[in-house]
Structure 1
């Protein structure tokens, strides 16, 4: 290790995409924010600061293999591992193969997977954990504006008159963005922060108004607001006529229920919703932020579009009056979407269903015509069913832990444990998913490999290595290229990440996410500029933004059930495979828990600290109770704890447009754990 050596890189956690400066000295690594980065301006949260302490913890250093999943793993060589991969892939029909990727992968790695799977293997049976995170926002952006891509940027926080946060707790999930919101509030106390969420989160605690709506009533609220704005003559009719289509049909769907009746059905005070009406009716700049509360829902696309409709109806798609800005969950979900790693996509925001898009990629990759399938692959939750039915017999999981993140944990575990399924897990540690695998491929981790990432505001930054990894680990790119070469495919002999990026960026030329002019060495770029659609020229066939009638499909619990809301904790990342080994990050988060309203708990003889059993048709979990503040008949539990995987109780219920699972909520019953007197 070189003393006093500084490396510029990026954070491996949330989609905020903080740029980091790593000082490598005699006593280890010191993580700071990179103040030269225009996107995050040197700020960062506690996770990357502490993360360097766990870089070497529980690392894998050799491929592991077992033909029989009930037997112990044996270490094998990389040559043997690649040969096993190649044999299993080449011995099965295309439809029996499946690949599951991650927003944790660097852009170059996701591009190589896309090229290999959709191009050279000729199957679209690939999905990514963006399906659990951002697929709904992707579809909503496409339906409203014609293309994926968050509209605004973080700088819109700095002069917003009001910031409406719907279905998100950025104080925990996007801390740097939340600190920027608080900085705006401190400098301009008149700035209003409004939080729409069934849970009184830390974000809600710092807000001017918490609107604790009943879970599933989001679309009702948005429709009520739209209809009332129209009744009061507060819609921007000039913008609607000039730049949009579909307003009349959307209004007709929204205006059916009287305003007060709609508000009451959301469980909200009329005065609170009046505050929102008055804001949208004003000329103030409003920034709308949202994340998984709107995305991970049975009617997630409708929730997204309902929120976006309010901004379209009031002409808020510019720097003066504000705009909606979707917050991204994974650090490189945007980069993965750009390179086409979801089941219907191709690089440069192309689609496998489009013949010109397929032909462009086939020519560029030197493939014969009609190599790329025109049929989108099945999404990951359908793939789980296909694994259990022996239709999919090979699964390659890269850099994610789906056993704990997919809905219905028991169903997923059964599928992964199927002896007819050859399961490959490519990761830096032995995750819960890896423990069920036939073949485990040890990878380099954050801080050990080179590439790029795109954050929530479309800003691309370089990710550089500042340490070496275990001697037996390989980069994800090395593994992909090694397999491709073993299979006899040409075009996978890159000299490094720069060569991969340069190949990929040419496929973005003249595309919406164009980055073709960027030089890799100096890569620091926000594609699309500060705000998309600044000229009111949209990516739809008519070049107009699209309103969509909002019809909810959300289900509601019976009177004996609670709505269980799931989410992240403040200091941990997802399933804790890395952050769970850092003592400073585990402090106050060592144990799972369930948050209840104190009055609802005590009515059932439950007191703070008691253990309760939460149950539904999928199973049961035991958790200790903490008191908090939530909408009536709602609960909250974090999803990241492997010993009590909360997705055990979350059924496979997908949005009909995005096929994203409704991971945010489940209907459960709560009983106090009986005291054992023996």
Structure 2
């Protein structure tokens, strides 16, 4: 690499542009390249956080360099050639399909796939093998936002863009610690607000996070009362006449039912449930009523709930009530958790989806995709595939006989973790495809396939504002690693589907994929790798229109500018919900609510960030946040350790006293698995109860008990060993 390469950060859904340059002091090309923000990228404008700035330092740490296999989990690994590894995979796959049928085959993918990886996987499983059993870790991330948009507006697709952060009069952040989890867009908003101090900021979160510290109004609600609060704000707006009746009458359905429901959500009734004052709720409603352009932003604190879809739709209700949608500076805006969870949604990367925002339950959608893929009619099943948790229960019952995991680490990230590990240990055959070795999931695999990662393969990703960026390779994969899409395509060819997998480059894959988006809400038929060489493009970008100039500008920054929604009659739908609260509320045996989340420097399960020295120094140890008065009641001091116990497992952590968390609530970060610390797994405690519509588990909250540990147990770090 002699010149700089434009690419994309592989971490969160902000989608920051990066520029990668060779290290001038490294003539042997052994040192990591230099990474800086790409000033020409329209989403991030040259800014980058510590994760993006240090990402290259992990490229050659503990990489999986060649395929490895074993017959049983208690056996040592044996190095395999690619031919031998793929023969083993294909033989086992054919055997399972012959004896148990395609429904016994499952793949669990990742929002860190590029869109090309996602698409080829869909074609392989749904089109060729005849199973919809593809789900991804986006099930734990954005599936509630997907279903909420579908049910209220008729289709998935965030209607806003980052420019709205610089046009709004009031930004309401709910269930989002954006200062740590989406720092570049958050700082973009702060810069705008500094120049426009009249702009209001509301933050709804049980913790006084760095995001909440910047707010004009922080509503430290009791966990599980989001819908109560939002309905109460709606009631006040209604009672003050601060609603847009012409918009409601012309562009929505079901207002009467919503209007009737909110009558029981007066602030006097709601405030005690939420742990707030009446005045605080009224202030939030006043900020909304006094603003011409209101932007709502949310992430995992909303989505990861048994009420996830209901919360999303209740947020959208406020926008429909006041006509705050389909115009600059306003709208409901989900902040995607992973770098390409949006691309996965576009490519059909959840158990119910098909490419182009289609559904497996719609006959016409299935027929269109089958015809395009040139597979027999009826090949794609009419029923949804297994969700992430249903894959686990399928392993428990023996119905899942072949599991393929790629680019994710479920032995840390799934809820009810001891149950998950026991199920993974029962899997008759697990393929694990990843860039690093070991991870916690490695222990449960029979076949390891080395995958190329960021910087080693070229492909596209779509960020939270629907901006598609070409992430370009700047180095060759180490050892024998291959791009995920290449592995999927080669398996397809070996199974006899040569015609379906004639791709030779990722540009070929993308060129085919975007044809399935034509005339859909997510129309990308005018986007190609060649166009993206000139800069990112935002969808919708149909081939028939010259949308986008190639430099990031687009005439499609926002959806629904004409207030015609993606429903059959073009009207959006009010969705009245009463709050169900937490799936597992506190009780005398487990009197505390545990909430979980991310830290600024780490990412998911530390597979990458745990191998970067600067980040591990920033966040060296797991911990438990607890309010000082709660700690005093338990006889705990800042030097103590506690055992956190739920109905499913335990964790042992050092205490961090802070008044920034609501009393009765404790917090622990979700990044530590068994490779990095002993008994510090957040998901050993969480439960799998999920939203009935999105099937997203409530990994944000569970009931726990706290017990002081004396003497304090020292942290036992276990850094992984390289291959």
Q: What TM-score results when the alignment is normalised by the length of structure 2?
A: 0.92
Q: Is the 8 A contact 2:170 2:291 kept in 1?
A: no
Partner of residue 20, structure 1:
18
The alpha-carbon deviation at position 261 of structure 1 amounts to 1.3
The alpha-carbon deviation at position 604 of structure 1 amounts to 1.0
Distance (Å, rounded) in 2 between the aligned partners of 1:281 and 1:51: 43
The alpha-carbon deviation at position 493 of structure 1 amounts to 2.1
The alpha-carbon deviation at position 100 of structure 1 amounts to 0.4
Instruction: Give the match's secondary structure for 1:659.
Output: coil
Residues 5-404 of structure 1: pairs in structure 2 closer than 5 A: 5-26=3-24, 27=26, 28-92=32-96, 93-319=101-327, 322-404=330-412
Q: Is the 8 A contact 1:315 1:321 kept in 2?
A: no
Instruction: Give the match's secondary structure for 1:411.
Output: helix
Distance (Å, rounded) in 1 between the aligned partners of 2:388 and 2:580: 22
- Greater Cα offset, 271-280 or 118-127: 271-280
1:583 to 613, 623, 627: 613
1:614 to 644, 658, 663: 644
Is 1:477 aligned with 2:485? yes
Seen in structure 2, the aligned counterparts of structure 1 residues 22 and 404 have a Cα distance that, compared at 3 Å, is same
The alpha-carbon deviation at position 101 of structure 1 amounts to 0.7
Distance (Å, rounded) in 1 between the aligned partners of 2:13 and 2:172: 19
Partner of residue 646, structure 1:
682
> Residues 271-298 of structure 1, C-alpha deviation per residue, up to 9 Å, x if partnerless?
2111111122224321111000000011
Q: Is the 8 A contact 1:537 1:543 kept in 2?
A: yes
> Residues 28-58 of structure 1, C-alpha deviation per residue, up to 9 Å, x if partnerless?
4111111112222222111011111111000
The alpha-carbon deviation at position 551 of structure 1 amounts to 2.1
Is 1:526 aligned with 2:538? yes
Distance (Å, rounded) in 2 between the aligned partners of 1:392 and 1:517: 40
Partner of residue 429, structure 1:
436
Partner of residue 707, structure 2:
671
Distance (Å, rounded) in 2 between the aligned partners of 1:501 and 1:479: 16
Q: Is the 8 A contact 2:161 2:465 kept in 1?
A: yes
The alpha-carbon deviation at position 259 of structure 1 amounts to 2.4
The alpha-carbon deviation at position 209 of structure 1 amounts to 1.6
Residues 505-516 of structure 1: pairs in structure 2 closer than 5 A: 505-516=514-525
> Residues 506-530 of structure 1, C-alpha deviation per residue, up to 9 Å, x if partnerless?
1111111111122321222111311
Partner of residue 448, structure 2:
440
Distance (Å, rounded) in 2 between the aligned partners of 1:329 and 1:239: 32
Distance (Å, rounded) in 2 between the aligned partners of 1:29 and 1:584: 16
Distance (Å, rounded) in 2 between the aligned partners of 1:177 and 1:344: 30
Distance (Å, rounded) in 1 between the aligned partners of 2:255 and 2:368: 36
Distance (Å, rounded) in 1 between the aligned partners of 2:496 and 2:326: 51
Distance (Å, rounded) in 1 between the aligned partners of 2:59 and 2:334: 31
- Greater Cα offset, 200-209 or 335-344: 200-209
Instruction: Give the match's secondary structure for 1:501.
Output: helix
Distance (Å, rounded) in 2 between the aligned partners of 1:118 and 1:196: 40
Seen in structure 2, the aligned counterparts of structure 1 residues 424 and 191 have a Cα distance that, compared at 3 Å, is same
Partner of residue 586, structure 2:
557
The alpha-carbon deviation at position 321 of structure 1 amounts to 6.2
Distance (Å, rounded) in 2 between the aligned partners of 1:482 and 1:493: 10
Partner of residue 721, structure 2:
none
Residues 531-546 of structure 1: pairs in structure 2 closer than 5 A: 531-546=558-573
Q: Is the 8 A contact 1:254 1:550 kept in 2?
A: no
> Residues 182-236 of structure 1, C-alpha deviation per residue, up to 9 Å, x if partnerless?
1012111222221100011011112222110000000000111111211111111
The alpha-carbon deviation at position 320 of structure 1 amounts to 5.1
- For this pair of structures, how many residues does the alignment match? 674
Q: Is the 8 A contact 2:297 2:334 kept in 1?
A: yes
> Residues 565-604 of structure 1, C-alpha deviation per residue, up to 9 Å, x if partnerless?
0001110110001110111111231100000001110111
Q: What TM-score results when the alignment is normalised by the length of structure 1?
A: 0.98
- Greater Cα offset, 196-205 or 276-285: 276-285
Distance (Å, rounded) in 2 between the aligned partners of 1:256 and 1:157: 33
Partner of residue 488, structure 1:
496
> Residues 321-340 of structure 1, C-alpha deviation per residue, up to 9 Å, x if partnerless?
62111100010000000010
The alpha-carbon deviation at position 558 of structure 1 amounts to 2.1
Q: Is the 8 A contact 1:283 1:321 kept in 2?
A: no
The alpha-carbon deviation at position 676 of structure 1 amounts to 7.9
Distance (Å, rounded) in 2 between the aligned partners of 1:283 and 1:666: 36
Q: Is the 8 A contact 2:412 2:440 kept in 1?
A: yes
Could you tell me which runs of 5 or more consecutive residues in structure 2 were left unpaired when the two chains were aligned.
Answer: 27-31, 541-555, 714-723
Could you tell me which runs of 5 or more consecutive residues in structure 1 were left unpaired when the two chains were aligned.
Answer: none
- Greater Cα offset, 224-233 or 239-248: 224-233
